[in-house]
Structure 1
């Protein structure tokens, strides 16, 4: 029995070491590249930073609003832009949220990567602590150049939550998703009541609503970072999202939780919210220089091989 336990411990140590090496290998080149392109380091190493980033994304979607195109469906009707938001009713009635940023770069190799968090609504109406996630896509049809966008996935039911709490799941596969509704009043109430999709997605870039599906996006549980943040070996996202894990002390999640309160339409302390206009996807990116593209191409190949090794 002791030998078996020692073997399991040794295997666990190897797995943690491999995962740690993978994050070091991935995080450095991507953040270096994002800095070259004029973006913030959108693949932070800590769940503390991810939670703050998620709060900024939520503020931009739910409080400050974004530009969305309207009209243009009938005859010569011209399209126009209006300020829109994710309605508070949507957030109040959901089971959980996945919030993340993705950066796409592609001239010779096309793909996307990013990171974020998931939070769940507990039975008492309070929000759970966050669980870290990684985002990955392989899109060989992406347009040459670079793009960065923010995404909020509104999880409407238990089927949607089950998909997001897998170690690895794909939007459009294990996770059924559709573009979420905008606006307010009776239209939103009707959409919320019908619950036509397990997950609604909202995407925007540079302040403009994209309204596109994200099928093919792979969501991966950040087991190693969750362990580090909560100080519990082998902690799983289901435990975290059920509220069975206590977050670290020191108020590291105050900004996130206050922003979630505000997004639901409840009273909030403005001083505890993140600053306006600071979401990662709202940054303007310059066209990548050739040395940046070569660096990303090399990173992409390494990342693809490492994922195969550690999956």
Structure 2
């Protein structure tokens, strides 16, 4: 008889280059942008319903973290509806569901192709470019020297604070627990002596007690920054510039670390390469989400 193996969530769906090329990333922070999530049934034969902005990331996070019997429905509007079975006669929603919303709602969830994809926070309050910079944004600015500037003690001190914020996230977001290795997004210039994502990945791997496989995902061709490239052309700028070592990631569940999530093209392309190299799942974690998905380029939030 064939052996049937159950793959528990988070589930990694298949995707390809065309999906990444046409990706129009969405993002939401429930606490600030989606304040109402739980809806009481209008009759006892119906159940409490948890309505979320999109299925990507949220569905995997819910079923990985929340011990509640639920049925997932993907609405035609793009929303995720989770019907909490057996709760129709309850005056209050299941406590587990309420706690889950409180935990997940602090972070920025991404609508992309990774099994899980979150940022710790926006660059500025509530993702509004006209509002003040928040703590995570300030720390990242201090932790990342630009141009030919060398890293200083102040640089690494700020980076170490970002590491601690990431570790708190990984502790409360138990959906990431199954990751067995850590990788950083490779820098656009392989000659850089200091890379913030690489620094973060090394420290997180050490303190979270996971294998650091960053050296097996490297830039082989220097590339210009894709920040000012139009969305439709971003992937073309990346193609062929990153190489993943063969036979290293077979069956691995990878935590992919970056300091900044903008359009998501870079992280999703890197994840695609990891999956093609044999990785089983890729979980993304960025420190900061930009206010727009395409800074300096015409794009939608």
TM superposition score normalised by structure 2? 0.21
TM-score, normalised on structure 1? 0.21
More helix by share: 1
- Higher RCO, Cα 8 Å, sep 6+: 1
